[in-house]
Structure 1
Amino acid sequence: MTTFTRLDRSVVGKWWWTVDRWTLLAVGILVFMGGIMVLAASPSVANRIGLENFHFVKRQFLYLPMAITIILGISLLSPLWVRRFAVILFGGCVVLTIATLLIGPEVKGARRWLQFGSFTLQPTEFLKPSFAVVAAWMFAEQRKSDELPGNLISMALFALVVGLLLMQPDVGMTLVVSAVWFAQFFLAGLPIFWVVLFIAVGIVGAAGAYALFPHVASRVDRFLDPSGGGNYQIERAMEAFQTGGFLGVGPGDGSVKTVLPDAHTDFIFAVVGEEFGVIVCLMVVAVFAFIVLRGFSRLLEEKNFFVVLAAAGLLTQFGLQAIINIGVNLRLMPTKGMTLPFISYGGSSMLALAVLMGMLLALSRRRAGAGDI
């Protein structure tokens, strides 16, 4: 068995003693639980739509080794190389997102995917974490010197990303990207005038989305008036939590996965609630909270401003995605097609989250100085 001492100067040895191993362990727990839950929830869905029972299971377990490799590989990078990687990824994702608008298949009125044989890619999933790092770089450069208009460049890139997302359209992801970007801008020292202005723009934008996109209006209306109908998945999810109680009905014994179309993706938390109960649900929430809070606690000692902004953006994105998914399952907010990180089935989502977590682990590693080393 290989062991690493603090005197080990190899790449892997230095990584082992500088990476946040508690966060790495927490991510491992999520990945393990995700594998179990996809195994429990997806066969019923596959059977219902005419696929082989373990179709989704096989695909998920194909993605898992890739995701783990991505997390570990990216976590070896220095902040400088994280930044370079994010810039390249961002540029590639912008091109691919434009391609989805031109040649991507239309699914339920939206163009968000590219088809490569049997693999479906959603470029915007990778656009989210890469944009957070690029925006952080621009904000940090503005603070260093006024020679580079980092804030203006960040605003322009934000407008580009939002424009592409709304053209698909994907209003939910637009709100997530906007919230993360605003949080980073606020941490970068956004003047109070701009804070008020952006909040006003956000309110107007939300109202505009309600007025311009019928599917957004429908989801909001169904959330505000559940008695109006059209809440089949939400109602079944709530029944699942009630049936599961504190301890659940037992692994594999739940019934909600046989009737929920998205039991293996958007509503997998309801499957957890029915089969494992409220206690396990609270444990899942606790793991997400631990990753986010521990990440921010490590940033309190960070001297590199770019690292602070980039990691804060990635943590906000990770936590917000978990909150939205769980909130939708518990009928605390309108429905939004967003996966539960590392637990829901999904290739693009799984790999994009692996990129996010790899960059976060790389940025949060203990380093000797404040520079990009």
Structure 2
Amino acid sequence: MKVTQAHTFARSDRSRLGVWWWTTDRWMLGVVAALFVIGVLMSFAASPAAAARLDVGDPFHFAVRQCVFAAAGAGLLVLVSMLDARGVRRTAFFIYIFAIAVMIALPFLGHTAKGATRWVEFAGFTFQPSEFMKPALIVLVAWMFAEGQKGEGVPGVTIAFGLYAISVALLLIQPDVGQTVLITVAFGAAVWMAGVPLSWVMLLGGMAIVGLASTYFLFPHVASRVDRFLSPERADTHQVDRAAEAIAAGGLFGRGPGEGVMKRHVPDLHTDFIYSVGAEEYGLVLSLLLVALFGFLVVRGLYRAMKLTDPFEQVAAAGLFVLVGQQAFINIAVNLNMIPTKGMTLPFISYGGSSMLAISLTLGMALALTRRRPGAYSTGQGLANAGAFA
């Protein structure tokens, strides 16, 4: 009797799912899957304490919701990563228009919390449009830079800067300085990858530094956070102190799953400070693992982006990976008290529907752009278009 072995995705499988499996970077897929799993595990660790702190009856209320968000995010990531470059551009265009329209309406329809109006409440859920605007902006900016390089009269650079300016203006109205910094860094990476002359890059960098410094004088909450960071002995640093104690208490291997104590005293433990919860229960091992996973994802993503031959795909993919890496860096740095506090979620790990779906969209687009296709990759220099605007 002849026994045949069935393969879920044989190399000869030309179905859409089969082609996707063999053309997508499976190392990055594995890292993303690991982050999804860790995020769900962390939600179960943080949910009981968060529910008790917020007076929610079901101790696993946040964990169950996070499982739903993770499942939806994984499905969205796979669907978006199946798109071709044209599909990514079209998706980004419609998402940007929708997100900007909602951001314009926020002063009239938005939900205000902690002194900012960044969310829209609907059917028991909160939607933060700026989370979806970020990846869409980077893709559109890369598209405009690529169109400008063709020399066909399209004012790509002007349009790209216009899109960026609109986004920053709406973010500062909320206000959301952290997201402004995030998209500015990613935009700067896109500008550099597009081959804009170094003098322009330096000028833009100088303007960004001046703009960031001015927020200290324009926004009281920014000044308060900076003052607390620079002079902790003269300010209330309860949140950061409790997070630091939780990280220190974890030691090398942690207290064990569900055995964390300090998480009961850490505000926003299931969102902005989930990293400290994981550090207390699983120790330095998990802390370094998370850093390694994000580091691998960004470095491998940038490497693949630099090998692409199409200017749009190259710039867009690099900008998206920078966006993910920068967000992870900011969250971890806040938890370690390396920078002033900022309400920035840890991708795939922190609780939140908007955050989970938006980061899934971001990486879905990045994976779609870096898929192996005929002629997509060069064997030579990745930055083939450097100096195109010179």
Q: Which of the five TM-score ranges fits, normalised by the shorter chain?
A: over 0.9
Query: Given the superposition, is the C-alpha separation of residues 112 and 237 from structure 1 closer, same or farther in structure 2, using an over 3 Å criterion?
Result: same
Q: 1:336 aligns with which of 336, 342, 349?
A: 342
- Structure 1 residue 26, shift from structure 2 partner: 0.5
In structure 1, C-alpha distance between the alignment counterparts of 2:202 and 2:80, rounded to whole Å: 37
Residue 51 (1) aligns with residue 53 (2): no
Q: Conserved in 1, the CA contact under 8 Å of 2:347 and 2:356?
A: yes
Select between 49-58 and 266-275 the one with higher mean Cα deviation.
Answer: 49-58
Q: CA RMSD in A?
A: 1.2
1:105 paired residue number: 111
Task: Give the match for residue 190 of structure 1.
Answer: 196
For residue 196 of structure 1, report the CA deviation from its aligned partner.
2.4
Aligned twin of 1:362: 368
The within-5 A match list for 1:126-275 is 126-275=132-281
How far apart are the structure 1 equivalents of 2:368 and 2:209? 35
Whether the 8 Å CA contact 1:45–1:263 is kept in 2: the answer is: yes
Question: How does the TM-score come out when normalised to structure 1?
Answer: 0.97
**Offset of 1:101 from its aligned partner?**
2.1
Mapped partners of 1:312, 1:300: distance in 2: 7
Residue 267 of structure 2 aligns with an amino acid whose one-letter code is: P
1:93-135 Cα shifts (integer Å, max 9, x gaps): 1111112122112212211001111011000000001111011
1:145-185 Cα shifts (integer Å, max 9, x gaps): 25101000001111100000000000110011111101101
Alpha-carbon offset, residue 2 of structure 1: 4.8
- Could you say what secondary structure the match of 2:222 adopts? helix
Distance 2:300 2:253 in 1: 28
Q: Structure 1: how far apart are the matches of 2:199 and 2:368?
A: 34
Q: Which amino acid in 2 is paired with 1:29?
A: A
Task: Report the secondary structure of 2:117's partner residue.
Answer: coil
Q: Contact 1:86–1:130 (CA<8 Å) still a contact in 2? A: yes
Compute the displacement of 1:6 (Å).
2.1
Residues 28-43 of structure 1 aligned to structure 2 (within 5 Å): 28-43=33-48
Per the alignment, residue 322 of structure 1 pairs with 328
Match of 2:13 in 1: 8
Structure 2 counterpart of 1:20, one-letter code: D
CA shift digits 1:246-288 (9 cap, x unpaired): 1111111111211112110110110111110012210111011
In structure 1, the gaps of 5 or more residues are: none
- Taking the aligned partners of 1:84 and 1:2, their CA distance within structure 2 comes to 34
Aligned partners of 1:219 and 1:306: how far apart in 2? 38
The count of corresponding residues between Structure 1 and Structure 2 is 371
Aligned counterparts of 2:349 and 2:365: Cα–Cα separation in 1:
19
Distance 2:196 2:137 in 1: 18
- 1:26 matched to 2:56: no
Structure of greater relative contact order (alpha carbons < 8 Å, 6+ residues apart) = 1
* Cα pair 1:256 1:263 within 8 Å, conserved: no
Task: Name the TM-score, length of structure 2 as normaliser.
Answer: 0.93
CA distance in structure 2 between the aligned counterparts of 1:348 and 1:2, rounded to whole angstroms: 36
Is the 2:191–2:201 contact (alpha carbons within 8 Å) kept by the matching residues of 1?
no
User: Given the alignment, which residue of 88, 94, 101 partners 2:100?
Assistant: 94
Q: Percent identity?
A: 48
Deviation at 1:234, TM superposition (A): 0.7
Answer yes or no: is 1:300 the counterpart of 2:303: no
Q: 3-state DSSP class of the match of 1:189?
A: coil
Structure 2, unmatched stretches of 5+, are 1-5, 378-390
**Quick one: distance in 2 between partners of 1:369 and 1:84?**
22
Q: Which amino acid aligns with 1:103?
A: L
Give the aligned partner of residue 381 of structure 2: none
> Quick check: 2:36–2:349 contact (8 Å CA) kept in 1?
yes
- Alpha-carbon distance between aligned partners in 1 of 2:127 and 2:312, rounded to the nearest angstrom: 29
